[in-house]
Structure 1
Amino acid sequence: MSEFLEKAAAELNSKLAAADFDGTAKFDIADEGAIMLDSDGARVSDDDADVTLSADAETFQAIFEGEMNPTSAFMTGKLAVDGDMGMAMKLASVLA
């Protein structure tokens, strides 16, 4: 398991602690693996989810660190979304 995934899951857990996120989402990170988000928090896993967000590690790192807006990443083609778009928008507000 990559150090990047572990660090990203920890960052997501701190962001989710104050949020009301009631669905399931997966971050599919190219050449790294996947992180699941649900009511239990974030963890390294590749389970099925309501929405899957796919991008490279650099894009996800910029989103997690607040350097890139998730909506902008999607609009410029750096972030792909598959599944429940409403859930993706809810998740974007958590990450912002």
Structure 2
Amino acid sequence: MKNYMVTHTFKSKEMKAKFNETVASMKMEDIVKSMTSDKAACQMTWNTPGDTMQMFCWWKANSEADINNQLGQMNDFFEPHKFTECTDQVMDYNA
């Protein structure tokens, strides 16, 4: 699988609020299940505070299309995603 850093931009403040409400109503195991398959799996998510309209996720996936397919109806909250493929070479400053 390839590594992708993905910028997810909410369509509006209302959509961000609705997304946050939806996720808050879910159990963690259901969130993980909805974000994981054999073709695309979200590794980490960085939410942003206040009026910031982006969130950032690290995905492992075979392709950008597989990430969009995994997100399914959650895509409705966002503008088209911005994908950046990354190498496996990581500089871990916490090691």
Query: By the TM > 0.5 criterion, same fold?
Result: no
In the superposition, the TM-score normalised over structure 1's length comes to 0.31
TM-score normalised to structure 2 length: 0.31
Which of structures 1 and 2 has the larger relative contact order (alpha carbons within 8 angstroms, sep 6+)?
2
Is the strand fraction higher in 1 or 2?
A: 2
- Of Structure 1 and Structure 2, the greater helix share is in 1
Larger radius of gyration: 2
